[in-house]
């Protein structure tokens, strides 16, 4: 529902406008002074302001100037008495959306309000799309391997639906790029695409970011905050690192998926939303369900359409394509002539394990563009850690007599804990797993800390 602020010192005018607009299913709040108007503007999520030019403390044009210092897009219709049309024109130059002279016909006002709200929504959308374009100019999907073609086929099929998608895969495999692809191919591509890195937000702030909060709901909540889900209404939300959210937030996320509604932190109002959810994780959510760190019902709600992003070592035929793409991109960015890669060097790069996947390959190419003095990348100027894989493309070789994998895993965990001086977070980083998974393994193998 659109919320309108009416600013007028005549209570009869506020009453008449409120009655006329409430019947159009708008939510109305009011103010009788400029000071009160700016306070309401700062506290509320508004779709439109109806602002009288003559106010008892400061004039409406001054209020408009102050509003425009904070928000360039919110529509403002100036209301003028007879003889102040010149002032209204001045207000238009300062960013007012429209003006209307008193006395006015209420039906005329309804038409102006509807038009102004539409203009505001359009301005918000244009602003959003501009930011999205800026952020995604360099994002593209490179790959001709069967596994990547299969991923793109599923992504294209699911894009036109509203089904929830769960993208899994190791870090650096391009999960966010696929989420962008699904969004851009979807029927919601003209609406908001809001991204949230759930692992980057402290537990205390995550719920506020996702669902918003009311003023005074906690220390530091000096005004109402609209959460990411509300901002994504009618559009799409991308929840990256979904495996990092705590169980308490998982319950609230399940409600969104089941009932399509939220409540702001500290609020009592139930807010209906229409949002398509795309989630991503580099963790094994099924394993987390078994560990008790991820809700089983939430897992099945998220895993409607699963997409697995293959690691780079499983799509080696794409490595030359990606290398050429990154060479071109960074050469243009750094104003350098593009490098070539000789056959021996390319063979080593294709065999390399690429534990960090596409992100590691991208960083490698950038480093080569900066450091290589010649016009060609050769075996000699490859970093030592990559040349070490020349003989075989894996880090470890299974002996002919076989191994006990659990003993190997336990031994590596103990080594990592020793190297990290028993710091579990650091040990988990050394092993390329999360702290939750490390704790599960420590308990499983009864490792003494």
Domain range list for the chain: 3-132, 146-310, 313-387, 405-444
**CA nearest to 253, candidates 284, 221, 217, 209:** 209
Tokens at 183, concatenated: 């969004």
Q: What does each of the 449 residues of the chain score in pLDDT, given as a tens digit?
A: 789 999 999 999 999 999 888 867 788 999 999 999 999 998 888 889 999 998 999 988 999 999 988 888 889 999 987 656 677 778 888 888 888 888 888 888 988 998 888 888 766 655 554 554 444 433 468 888 999 999 999 999 999 999 999 999 999 999 999 999 999 999 999 999 999 999 888 877 898 899 988 887 777 777 878 889 999 999 999 999 999 999 989 999 999 999 999 988 888 888 999 999 999 999 999 999 998 999 999 999 999 999 999 999 999 999 999 999 899 888 888 877 788 899 999 999 998 889 889 999 999 999 998 888 878 899 888 887 787 655 444 555 566 667 788 888 898 899 889 888 888 888 888 888 888 888 889 988 989 87
Run of H or E residues at 133:
helix 106-135
CATH topology of domain 405-444: Arc Repressor Mutant, subunit A (1.10.10)
Rounded Cα distance between 229 and 256, Å, is: 9
CB distance 354 to 361 below 8 Å: yes
CATH ID of 3-132, from 3.60.10.10, 3.20.20.10, 3.40.50.2300, 3.60.21.10: 3.40.50.2300
Domain spanning 146-310: which CATH class is it, in words?
A: alpha beta
One fold for both 3-132 and 405-444?
A: no
CATH topology of domain 313-387: Helicase, Ruva Protein; domain 3 (1.10.8)
Phi first, then psi: give them for residue 39, nearest 5 degrees.
Answer: -65, -45
CB distance 113 to 26 below 8 Å: yes
Give residue 174's pLDDT. Answer: 93
Q: Strand 261-262 vs strand 271-272: parallel, antiparallel, or unpaired? A: antiparallel
Tell me if the bond preceding 103 is cis, omega within 30° of 0. yes
DSSP per-residue codes, 268-302:
---EE---EEEEEESS-HHHHHHHTSS-HHHHHHH
C-beta neighbour count of 71 within 10 angstroms: 14
Burial of 161 from C-beta contacts in 10 A (0-12 / 13-18 / 19+): middle
């Amino acid at each position: 529902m659109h919320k309108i602020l009416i600013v007028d010192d005549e209570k009869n005018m506020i009453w008449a406008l409120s009655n006329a607009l409430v019947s159009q299913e708008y939510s109305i709040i009011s103010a009788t002074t400029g000071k009160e108007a700016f306070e309401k503007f700062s506290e509320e999520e508004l779709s439109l302001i109806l602002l009288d030019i003559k106010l008892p403390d400061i004039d409406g044009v001054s209020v408009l100037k102050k509003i425009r210092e904070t928000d360039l897009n919110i529509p403002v219709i100036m209301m003028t008495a007879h003889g102040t049309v010149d002032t209204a024109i001045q207000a238009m130059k300062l960013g007012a959306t429209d003006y209307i002279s008193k006395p006015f016909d209420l039906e005329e006002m309804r038409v102006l309000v509807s038009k102004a709200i539409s203009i505001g929504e359009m301005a918000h959308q244009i602003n959003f799309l501009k930011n999205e374009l800026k952020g995604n100019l360099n994002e593209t999907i490179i790959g001709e391997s069967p596994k990547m073609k299969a991923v793109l086929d599923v992504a294209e099929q699911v894009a036109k639906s509203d089904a929830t998608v769960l993208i899994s895969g190791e870090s650096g495999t391009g999960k966010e790029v696929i989420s962008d692809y699904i969004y851009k191919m979807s029927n919601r591509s003209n609406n908001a695409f809001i991204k949230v890195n759930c692992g980057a937000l402290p537990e205390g702030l995550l719920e506020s970011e996702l669902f918003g909060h009311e003023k005074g709901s906690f220390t530091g909540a000096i005004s109402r905050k609209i959460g990411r889900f509300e901002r994504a209404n009618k559009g799409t939300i991308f929840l990256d690192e979904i495996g990092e959210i705590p169980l308490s937030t998982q319950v609230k996320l399940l409600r969104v998926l089941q009932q399509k509604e939220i409540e702001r932190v500290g609020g009592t109002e139930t807010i209906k939303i229409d949002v398509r959810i795309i989630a991503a994780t580099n963790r094994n959510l099924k394993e987390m369900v078994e560990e008790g760190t991820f809700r089983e019902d939430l897992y099945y709600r998220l895993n409607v359409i699963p997409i697995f992003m293959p690691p780079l070592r499983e799509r080696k035929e794409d490595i030359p394509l990606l290398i050429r793409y990154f060479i071109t991109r960074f050469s243009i960015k750094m104003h350098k002539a593009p490098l070539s890669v000789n056959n021996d060097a390319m063979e080593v790069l294709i065999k390399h394990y690429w534990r960090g996947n596409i992100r590691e390959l991208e960083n490698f190419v950038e480093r080569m563009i900066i450091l290589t003095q010649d016009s060609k990348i050769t075996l000699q100027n490859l970093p030592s850690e990559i040349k070490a894989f020349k003989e075989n493309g894996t880090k470890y070789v299974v002996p002919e007599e076989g191994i006990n994998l659990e003993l190997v895993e336990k031994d590596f965990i103990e080594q990592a804990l020793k190297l990290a001086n028993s710091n579990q977070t650091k040990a988990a980083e050394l092993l390329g797993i999360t702290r939750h998974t490390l704790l599960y393994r420590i308990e499983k193998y009864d490792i003494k800390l």
